[in-house]
Amino acid sequence: MDSGRNNNYGRGRGSSSGGGRGNYQNQSNQGGRRGRAAHHQPPAQQQSVNRPPVQANQPPAQQAWGNRPPVQGNQPPAQQEWGYRPPFLRTMPQTPPPQVQQQQRPQGQSAPSPVQPLQACLTRAAAQDLRPGASIIFIESKGNQIQPIKRPDHGGTLAIKTVKLHVNHFPVKFDPKKTIIHYDVDVKPAPSTDRMLVKRTVRKSDLRVIRDKLFSDDPRFDILQTVYDGEKNIFSAVNLPTGEFQVNLADDEGAKSGSYIFTIKFVNELKLSKLKDYLRGSLSYIPRDILQVMDLVMKENPSRRRICVGRSFYSSEYMTAFDLNNGVAAYQGFQQRLKPTSQGLALCLDYSILTFRKPWPVIEFLKEHLERFGGVNDVKSRRRDVNNALKGLKVRVIHRHTKQKYTIAGLTEEDTRDCYYDLVDPEGNNPPQRISLVRYFQDKCNMDIMHQNVPCLELGKNNRSNKVPIEFCVLVEGQMYPKENLDKGRAWFLKDLTLAKPWVRKSTINEMVQAKDGPCGAVSRNFGIGVDVNMTNFVGRVIGAPELKLGGQNSVRVDVEKRQWNLLGKSFVDAKSVDRWALLDFTDGDRYNKLQANAFINNLRSRCRNLGIRMEAPLLHRVTRMYEFSSVNRLENLLQNVVEEATRLAQGKLQLIVCVMTKKDPGYKFLKWVSETRIGVVTQCCLSRLANKGQDQYLSNLCLKINVKLGGSNFELNGKLPHFDIGDHVMLIGAHVNHPGPMSALCPSIAAVVGTVNWPAANRYAARVAPQAHRSEKIINFGTMCSDLVNTYARLNRVKPKKIVVFRDGVSDGQFGMLLEEELLVLKKAIYDDHYQPPITLIVARKRHQTRLFIENRDDGGASGNVPPGTVVDTIIVHPFDFDFYLCSHYGGMGTSKLTHYYVLWDENRFNSDLLQKLIYDMCFTFARCTKPVSLVPPVYYAGLVAYRGRMFQEALMESTTGASPSNVSFDPSLYSMHSDLENIMFFV
């Protein structure tokens, strides 16, 4: 609901970071273009952090680039490497390699096409920015792939102060002389004369059990010298025997009993020296195969001892303080990842929380999970509740020794004493014998069933019955419980646990790194990998906040600690009049949440007037019920009637409809889809409970949204954006893809692109949204959408943008090549011609990472204990030579602040570190709907909001359309097209 809440950017939608299982082949993703234009000077008001000059012939230990402090105490063995990487400038050739040297064009020959491979040409506009005599240098890359650009300097120097920081990066040392041997694995059932008993395929969950059985039984294999990816690959620190091996599994070993053929074939050798070469800068492409294997090695110890969920590892036991009752508890865990950084290879480990069902006996679980459940005697009387609570859960049995897991299909129709089945003679000498379940347990298991007058659990599948008394079943550990099913009190408690304070998170991370079930173990040591269990410490910079411009004032200074500002006594810089609006009151019939309409209208108009907005009385006040949200057709008829009636009462179309609701309703998506794609009038929704309170802050938040939706501007930077001039006409573009949930196999992904349409304020955006292939991260219509936005800019400003900066969200490292070789190329194809080739900068903004910063001295942070807003890091923990940095632009009032990781992939606008960091930080103050800087650069934030709005449209279409194919309906781009009256305004805030 677009009520007046100031939420920081969150991922409530199904965004994907990409990735997936690698094929362990060498991939190129990191080399790149080198050579930069002269650096711009930092703004005069900013102070500079002194850095010692880097001498050309300094030994590595004295270099300023990501130098690690000397190791105290016992030095590591000589063959161990911290992966130190000296400054790339020291090893960079000063002329282009011959194979990529640009050739002189014969006289009269036309210029290269603007859509030629990007590594072979620069745009004319960008080339004009090069200083005289500068050379364009490209590093040789594997497979001729386009590589991200390199850092243009040694990091920024702009700062108003510095802070001592700790980061959850733990330096990793490895032996570059080591070789990891890669083997291919194939597992099949052993041949049998009885075809009915042979399984054609082996379950993935059984593969690891079969591997463990072979390696434990055969002395030629050492399980602590190998790691297995659970599918097709084994990696070993020593040579393994190859060939076919027979594995016999008993029924008590956690997998389907039987014989299997385990085939091992040699593939290749992976030399860790290649990773050392990459970290030192002598190898241009990242050896992803080696990094993937080392990451697998580091995960082996926790994967054996902890509960694995995706890429996270959770403790097998919960703390008493984390008990959520209801048969559910919160478990602590962590995510980890190996990262190449300026200090070498580092292990990044972060703390997380997840809810699991307690691994209790089934009856004990039911006692706590179901309200007023007295025990086993209530199973029959509460059959429906018990079935709903247990169906689909996994259990193990305690009447025999087995690790096998079974899925509960439900309760049996008959009681335990009445359960019979046919006992078959395995030799076939005697006919099947009818036997009761009670007698079977007495004769075969030597156990008496205590509760015979209640149903059993049915654990069979594929129409095969397997009845087990409920008292012999225990829930398997690690079964997730959806947090959405928690009541309000437990949900808030879980949120408090998840949003751990910085000092709590830091302490927990340190404990997990050093734990016996953590990332360090015998396997990693056998592969020659060691971890420094002390957090990396370094000095970060804090850059200053910009001054803001509001209506009637020259400038507004922000709060020193939280960087926020107050609207009291101030007005918007460009306040739009609200002459024609209607009030739709959906609270009729609700005695507790009935809108006090006159008071609300007067309060809203008064707050608008104080902020400079002239708001007339509503043309129309229609009272109705929440029932209208139950149908798209009802809402469309209602809105259409309101618009038509208001039009008759005044000259001109309605500008705004304020909708007051008693509660959040699923029909909200119907309202937005109808109003924004069919009616063409923006709506502002709010809850009657908050509207009746009439608090100044709440009404101000409504006014922030209303003014922007009508095309106004709330506040602007007092001065130009860094690096650009008033006449540059820069267009800022944001792009994002929203993916459907994991259970939606046919729904499209939703791509959204937004772009600024004003300069130099650059704070008003137009948006385009379109459906595309299911879970496709590549934006299929990226060129078309951007071209439309560029033409819109030209139509509104009578000039095309002269420079373009693109911010892309939601991609992983492995997808950088797709952005450079496909989306960027498509963009240039779409907008370039012989006379128009603006320089383009492409930046990825990511919040899905595990890096967390902690201040060393509490005095350096605010009351929350987080790093101060404006903290920027571009040394030590960043990439060895690519152009990336971390920025904390917001004040972290809850939990531990999560920085945004900005990664520059392509830059024809010639940024240096200081100016790009300052540009992004200043832009975070221009987000339209709150009076504080946000955590993510606004173009990406807005693109996320638009993509989420597109997801709402898709859901509205699916729920409102009958008799049509879901794929045909939801993939039709015309159904997502905005009404022509709204396509160039910020309807989505």
What pLDDT, in 10s, does the model give residues 530-552? 999 999 999 999 999 999 999 87
CA 635/CA 639 separation, integer angstroms = 6
Name residue 540's amino acid: G
CA 759/CA 835 separation, integer angstroms = 22
pLDDT given at position 966:
63
CA 217/CA 247 separation, integer angstroms = 9
CA 373/CA 208 separation, integer angstroms = 39
**Mean pLDDT along residues 756-784:** 96
pLDDT given at position 526:
95
pLDDT given at position 421:
81
For the beta carbon of residue 582, count every other beta carbon within 10 angstroms. Answer: 23
Q: Which of 763, 757, 726 is nearest to 925 (CA)?
A: 763
Query: How far are the Cα atoms of 87, 475, 737, 773, 941 from residue 776, in angstroms, in the given order?
Result: 37, 37, 8, 6, 20
The label of the residue with tokens 């820069």 reads 730
CA 78/CA 744 separation, integer angstroms = 54
Name residue 574's amino acid: D
The label of the residue with tokens 């729904």 reads 747
pLDDT given at position 639:
97
In this prediction, what percent of the chain has a pLDDT beyond 90? 73
Confidence band, pLDDT 50/70/90 cuts, at residue 445:
confident
What is the Cα 635 distance to its own chain's centre? Answer: 34
Confidence band, pLDDT 50/70/90 cuts, at residue 746:
confident
**Mean pLDDT along residues 433-458:** 91
One-character DSSP codes across 590-606: -SSS---HHHHHHHHHH
**Mean pLDDT along residues 264-268:** 97
Q: What is the largest CA-CA distance in the chain?
A: 101
Confidence band, pLDDT 50/70/90 cuts, at residue 199:
low
Confidence band, pLDDT 50/70/90 cuts, at residue 320:
very high
Per-residue b or e along 509-527, where b marks 16 or more CB atoms closer than 10 Å to that residue's CB = bbebbebebbbbbebbebb
Q: How far apart are the first and last CA of the chain?
A: 11
Query: How far are the Cα atoms of 160, 165, 542, 886 from residue 871, in angstroms, in the given order?
Result: 10, 10, 4, 8
**DSSP 8-state secondary structure symbol assigned to residue 734:** E
The label of the residue with tokens 């560029």 reads 790
CA 988/CA 946 separation, integer angstroms = 6
For the beta carbon of residue 45, count every other beta carbon within 10 angstroms. Answer: 9
R_g over Cα of the chain: 32
For 635-679, how does the pLDDT look when each residue is reduced to its tens digit (9 = 90+)?
A: 999 999 999 999 999 888 999 999 999 999 999 999 999 999 999
pLDDT above 70: residue 96? no
pLDDT above 70: residue 627? yes
Contact 916, 723 (CB under 8 A): yes
Confidence band, pLDDT 50/70/90 cuts, at residue 16:
very low
**Mean pLDDT along residues 407-430:** 86
For the beta carbon of residue 146, count every other beta carbon within 10 angstroms. Answer: 26
For 241-263, how does the pLDDT look when each residue is reduced to its tens digit (9 = 90+)?
A: 999 999 998 866 666 778 999 99
Q: Which two tokens stand for residue 493?
A: 């408690």
Contact 151, 912 (CB under 8 A): no
Q: Which of 951, 942, 940, 939 is nearest to 749 (CA)?
A: 951
pLDDT above 80: residue 290? yes
pLDDT given at position 918:
98
Segment (H or E) for 136: none
CA 913/CA 42 separation, integer angstroms = 10
**Mean pLDDT along residues 63-77:** 37
For 360-416, how does the pLDDT look when each residue is reduced to its tens digit (9 = 90+)?
A: 999 999 999 999 999 999 999 999 999 999 999 999 999 888 888 899 999 999 999
Residue bearing the bigger pLDDT, 108 or 622: 622
Collect all residues with Cβ–Cβ distance below 8 Å to 803 and sequence separation of at least 6.
125, 724, 728, 729, 730, 731, 838, 839, 840, 841, 909
For 876-908, how does the pLDDT look when each residue is reduced to its tens digit (9 = 90+)?
A: 999 999 999 999 999 999 999 999 999 999 999
Per-residue b or e along 300-312, where b marks 16 or more CB atoms closer than 10 Å to that residue's CB = bbbbeebbebeeb
Contact 686, 4 (CB under 8 A): yes
Beta strand pairing call for 312-314 and 307-309: antiparallel
